[in-house]
Structure 1
Amino acid sequence: MGQLLDLLKQGAPSDEVKEDLAQHTIKIVTKGGSTEDDPLDVGIVLEGREVLSGLSSVARACALLLGLIYAVNLSYPKQLRYTFEFCQKMLLELDSGKLSPKVHALKSKLLS
């Protein structure tokens, strides 16, 4: 769960939040809303710049982020490497023939 928190950021678009986002390679940002489960706006930050905003949910942002990473051929952040690899290769079945040992072990456990 701690690794997923490295991917998500909640907060209003203040100068402090913008400075923090400028230091991140990949981030999903949620803004406003009455609860964490119901944000008003969700966006994607790549290389310190917000590239998508106005997304309706974190789930949609995750799916679009995977597509952006794959289309632009970005490297996964070290702390989230296996999370993204699992999503790409196991869930989306993109390049699923080349699994890292950790993801292959997880696949074996899931299929047994």
Structure 2
Amino acid sequence: MFSLKNEIPNTVMGIYKIRRGDCTEDIGVVIEGVKVLSNLDCVILAFIMLFGLIYALDLSFPDNLKYTFEFIQKILMNLEGHRLNAKIQQLKIKLFA
């Protein structure tokens, strides 16, 4: 069975949401196995806070999510959009064609 307490120490970077039935009990951010933020109002806010922490703490994107984070940063948020790697550039061309 999935247990948040067991998974947090193994999480490099992530967002968690704890639900009990239809109610959300907690939404937060984990970085390097530590809950750094909790009791956030929504997953969108958790995502924005995670990106803010990545920049403020000068963290690298996790290897397994590197391209996902890079897409969000450069295409959706238009940050450093002029410096795209080949994969992201091709995706941008397909999306906006």
Matched residues in 2 for 1:24 and 1:87: separation? 20
Residues 17 and 33 of structure 1, relative CA distance in 2, 3 Å threshold: closer
Residue matched to 1:77: 62
Query: Once superposed, which parts of structure 1, at least 4 consecutive aligned residues long, lie more than 4 Å away?
Result: none
* 2:18 alignment partner, one of 31, 38, 50: 31
Per-residue deviation at 1:34?
3.1
Residue 49 of structure 1: aligned partner: 34
> Could you say what the CA RMSD is over the residues aligned between the two structures, in angstroms?
1.6
- Long gaps (5+) in structure 2: none
- For structure 1, list consecutive stretches of 5 or more residues without a partner in the other structure: 1-10
CA shift for structure 1 position 28: 0.8
Question: What's the secondary structure of 1:84's corresponding residue?
Answer: helix
CA distance in 1: counterparts of 2:4 and 2:46, whole angstroms: 19
- Matched residues, number: 96
Q: 2: CA distance between counterparts of 1:69 and 1:21?
A: 18
CA contact (8 A) 1:39 1:57 kept: no
